[in-house]
Amino acid sequence: MSTNQPEDTDGVPAEPSPLAAFADEVAAAVGGTPSTDHGTVKVRVAAERWAEAVEAARDAAGLPFLEFISAIDWANDVSVGDPPEEPVEERLEVLCAVGDVVEGRLAILSADIPKEAPSIASLTHLYPGAEWHEREAAEMFGIHFEGLAKTDHLYLPDEFEGNPLRKSFALLTREVKPWPGDVDVEDLPDAVPTGPSTENPGA
Amino acid sequence: MLDQHAIRQLSEVSVSVEIETPEMTLNIGPQHPSTHGVLRLVAKVDGERITDVDPKLGYMHRGYEKLSEVRTYPQIMALVNRIDWTSGYANEVPFVVAAERLLGVEPPERAKWIRLILTEMARVSAHLLFMGSFPLELGATTPLMFSLRDRERVLDVMESLTGGRFHPNFNRIGGVKPAAGAGKEMKKQVQDLPAGFLAETRDAMVKVRSTCDELEQLIMGNEIFLARTKGIGILPPDVAVSYGVTGPNLRASGVPFDLRTMTDYLPYDQVDFEVPIGEQGDSFDRWWVRLQEIRQATRIVDQAVDKIPAGPLLAKVPKIIKVPKGETYVRAENPKGIMGYYLVSEGGQGPYRLKIRSASFSNLSMLPWILEGVLIPDLLAVMGSLDFVLGDVDR
């Protein structure tokens, strides 16, 4: 798969941007679908191939640096915040950002898993630093990481029940009392200077 | 009659007889020995040597990722500068850049340069705190007096501009805060940098540089400090990378990885600076790299003060900001290492999801690795040199 590449008038594909070229390179190595929206390289892979894809990113694409592992809870019915503008497919999206420390390239791999019995392979055998990231995602989203040796809570008390970063998990303080900021919002001043000034104040 | 070889063998046998010592579990904390937050370590020790350590986190967990889902973008700015409270301003920058990127707003040049100056001053103040606290953990009290004096100087200058010593909350989507005064009349006047700010900044940097020389003399002539830090807590570069260790801790291990030389979130390409790296990756190198980084940061501030262009501080943005649907990840080279925000917007006044990647979290995650086999008295020399803040670990 390839990202949208600009074509010039002769129909000859123009040179892709370095970011798009990098996204294509990672996608080819891991076998996924690339995107480069808002300057962020993201490659979607199948959840069954999660560990295999990240290993390919590390070895074949040359990205030995672990940036983070986390997840997004995609839900139409939310207990906190605003629901998505348009209906989304109900799922958990697992993210793993890997990069290198020579050129500072970074690619984010993502895989969708179902919300019922969410489970995905652990990456601790590839990156030792993955342990804390996965323990955090496990307690916050209720994701089971297969092969994660240490599964006790990282942040939450041992007896804590529920997964706080799930959209179905209500923020109790907000249920009891509305956000006080809603009532005392002060208007911004009208006279915000936005025109260019010629002098250099502060000198 | 025994020959020399036999005698040596015999003596080796006699010293290698080990006293049976049962493995003990030692609880350290919950507190950080130098009060950079609250941390508890459960260590397994064999005599004086640590065989395994299990850090217990969560004492500083404030749930910023969840709170971000019920707050608006301007409100979140006040939250994120409390993540790493030793460099509050630097935490705001990647977040505001992420929001601007989704919104498609480009801040004016002058605002970018002010962000750069304040980020580097945050770096100077964070590293100066380390220059005081790390020797203090090893029993040297004098460097603290020197470094805190100059940290206060830098914080005073930052306060004169932003109104806050630790938590400036000075960024706005599209630039930096334009109005500093109170009351309607003041707000109508053109509000910019306070008079004399640039001169005071330059002055503070000169003093910081001379304090760096003093600190260097104090430490380099201190045999106890050198004996307790050189060769202690060595972090090899490949281990650091696989754990996601960044910032001065990674550079002390000899990896010249500095996002300021690679990305364009601030105009670092227009200033001249060096990226100091260590040789061994021991506790001493981590101290040395930070000292050099203070000097480089003052160089950057000096150049920025000379180069800052005139112009507006804020781009045209709506009063109530709704960020269009989209996802982006923006990271920055903060004093403690790489800090990044994965921002997911679904078109609301606040994020749908905000993943905060903080430097100290990854830096601390290799603690069990680096502490294995370390003597208990060296625990402080190793942990102190890693310069983490628990607020930046727990978020």
pLDDT digits (tens, 9 = 90+) for A52-82: 888 888 888 888 899 999 999 988 888 777 7
Q: Is the pLDDT score of B147 beyond 50?
A: yes
Question: How would you label B58-71 residue by residue, b for 16+ Cβ within 10 Å and e otherwise?
Answer: bbbbeebbbbbbbb
Residue in B242, B255, B308 nearest the CB of A128:
B242
Which is more confidently placed, A28 or A135?
Answer: A135
Give me the number of domains chain B comprises: 1
- Across the interface, whether the CB atoms of A200 and B197 are under 8 A apart is answered no
Range of the domain at B227: 53-394
- Scanning B186-245 for CB atoms below 8 A from A yields 187-188, 190-199, 238-239, 241-245
The two three-digit tokens of residue A185, written as one number: 């919002």
Please tell me the total number of residues recorded for chain A in this structure: 203
Q: Note the pLDDT tens digit of each residue in B12-59.
A: 555 555 666 778 888 877 765 556 667 788 888 887 888 888 888 888
Give the CA distances from residue A95 to residues A64, A92, A122, B169, B238, in Å, rounded to whole numbers and listed in that order. 16, 10, 12, 29, 23
Q: Note the pLDDT tens digit of each residue in A80-109.
A: 777 888 888 888 999 999 998 888 888 999
Q: Which of B116, B119, B121, B145 is nearest to B132 (CA)?
A: B145
Whether the model clears a pTM of 0.95, i.e. scores above it, the answer is no
- Scanning B248-287 for CB atoms below 8 A from A yields 250, 255, 257, 259, 262-263
CATH number (3.40.50.10320, 3.40.630.30, 3.30.460.80, 1.10.10.10) of A18-76+86-173 reads 3.30.460.80
Q: Nearest CA to CA, how far is A161 from chain B (Å)?
A: 15
Chain A residues with CB under 8 Å of B314 CB are 192, 194
Alpha helices of chain B — where are they, by DSSP H?
Answer: 4-15, 64-67, 73-80, 88-103, 109-137, 142-162, 184-188, 197-220, 223-229, 237-242, 248-252, 283-307, 359-365, 367-371, 376-386, 390-394
Residue B44: inside a domain: no
Please report, as a single letter, which amino acid is at residue A37: D
Residue B33: inside a domain: no
In whole angstroms, what is the distance from residue B342 CA to residue B330 CA? 7
Q: Note the pLDDT tens digit of each residue in B170-217.
A: 888 888 876 555 455 555 555 677 778 888 899 999 999 999 998 998
The interface pTM score, or ipTM, of the predicted complex is 0.81
| pLDDT (mean) for B278-302 | 91
Name the DSSP letter for residue A46.
-
| Domain range list for chain A | 18-76+86-173
Residue in A37, A171, A196 nearest the CB of B311:
A196
Residue B364: inside a domain: yes
Sheet holding B326-334, edge to edge: B326-334, B337-345, B353-357
Q: Note the pLDDT tens digit of each residue in B97-131.
A: 999 998 888 899 889 999 999 999 999 999 999 99
Extended beta strands in A53-126, E state? 65-74, 91-99, 106-113, 119-121
Q: Nearest CA to CA, how far is A137 from chain B (Å)?
A: 11
Ranking A124-138, A144-158, B147-161, B187-201 by mean pLDDT, the lowest is: B187-201
Q: Nearest CA to CA, how far is B295 from chain A (Å)?
A: 23
Residue B169: inside a domain: yes
**How deeply is B184 buried, as exposed, middle or buried, from its count of CB atoms within 10 A (0-12, 13-18, 19+)?**
exposed
List, in order, residues 6 or more apart from A2 with CB less than 8 Å away: A24, A34
Residue A125 neighbours by CB distance under 10 Å? 12
Probe site for chain A from B60, B275, B355 (most A CB atoms < 10 A): B355
In chain A, which residue's Cα lies nearest the Cα of B192? A201
- Across the interface, whether the CB atoms of A155 and B394 are under 8 A apart is answered yes
Chain B residues with CB under 8 Å of A196 CB are 310-312
Chain B residues with CB under 8 Å of A39 CB are 101, 328
Residue B29: inside a domain: no
Q: Nearest CA to CA, how far is A145 from chain B (Å)?
A: 18
In whole angstroms, what is the distance from residue A21 CA to residue A14 CA? 12
Residue B324: inside a domain: yes
Looking at the DSSP bridge assignments, the partners of residue B44 are: B25, B52
CA angle, B360 as apex, B120 and B378 as ends, to 5°?
Answer: 110
Residue B135 belongs to domain with CATH number: 1.10.645.10
- Scanning B61-90 for CB atoms below 8 A from A yields 61, 63, 65-67, 69-71, 75
Q: What is the pLDDT of residue A84?
A: 83
- Residue A3 pLDDT level (bands cut at 50, 70, 90): very low
List, in order, residues 6 or more apart from B79 with CB less than 8 Å away: B64, B67, B68, B71
CA angle, B299 as apex, B296 and B304 as ends, to 5°?
Answer: 130
Please tell me the total number of residues recorded for chain B in this structure: 395
Task: With beta carbons less than 8 A apart as the criterion, state whether B229 and B287 touch.
Answer: yes
In chain B, which residue's Cα lies nearest the Cα of A102? B257
In whole angstroms, what is the distance from residue B172 CA to residue B313 CA? 10
